[in-house]
Amino acid sequence: MPTNNLEEVLAKCDTVIVCVPSAYAQGVIESVDAGLWTGKNIVSAIKGVLPDSNLLLNDYLANLPSFDLDRYVAVTGPCHAEEVAYERISYLTFAGLNDTLTSSIADAFRNTYIYTTTNHDIWGVQYAAVLKNIYAVGAGMAHALDYGDNFLSVYITNCYREMHRYLQAHFEKVHPSNERPDFHTSAYLGDLLVTCYSLHSRNRMLGTMLGKGYSVKNAILEMNMVAEGYYAARGMQHLSAKYGIEIPIATAIFDVLWKGNLPSDTFIELEKVLS
């Protein structure tokens, strides 16, 4: 039975799927006693960093008593909800450290039109999801500014290069002794492509409105939907500085979203550095 009583839900279940926008996740989690989260399997479909802490969900949950990272699974696309509703073939990646749990969660989501795969890269798939939303805002700006497909293909290529560099550098800083994941798979590259190209993409839609002259405030109000790239852009600035990994394209999009830079001026500058 559907309910909005989170305490009741947590008391009766062993697995929780967290799919609220990142901006509200911390408030939802803190709305109940922290002990109620103890011993739960957490499946995160959040595609952003928590704006109050600039942390991925698992890093935030690590501050709760008895949080067990082995019980955490991150789910990523490429998988727009609209196409799932139409039962179009889609793919999900589930990342977790516990192979048994991760596989069982993936099996629960698999059906005739959803294919699933698993890996161990909890941090990488989540950071890829955060970054691709920022880049998709830029893709929308480029589209609205009448840049063509040729430019967009080069823009996305450079975005992927930047994403790959960030993921690789972060992995080497945090997990230097572990085997590096394959970043050329759908959880990383595929999710970036669909978010930048698809008309279903809320982040691309936000960028399109900004490129047409909307203010950030008015664009967000008129969309009446959450574009994760807005908060993600700010969060990644903190994380980039924290880990000492430069992300100049994401920074350029941040400057539009949070500093008031004009999309047109931003892309004139990007033209000069993309290759």
Q: Can you name the residues that pair with 18 across neighbouring β-strands?
A: 44
Catalytic site includes residue 259:
no
CA-based R_g, the chain, Å:
19
Q: Which of 132, 212, 242, 259 is catalytic?
A: 132
| Phi and psi, residue 36, nearest 5° | -70, -20
Q: Please, what's the b/e burial string for 220-255 (b: 16 or more CB within 10 A of its CB; e: otherwise)?
A: beeeeebbbbbbbbebbbebbeeeebebebbbbbbb
SS (H, E, C) 214-266: CCHHHHHHHHCCCCCHHHHHHHHHHHHHHHCCCCHHHHHHHHHHHHCCCHHHH
Q: Which amino acid is at 131?
A: L
State how far the alpha carbon of 159 is from the alpha carbons of 46, 188, 275, in Å: 21, 11, 11
Q: Which residues are catalytic?
A: 132
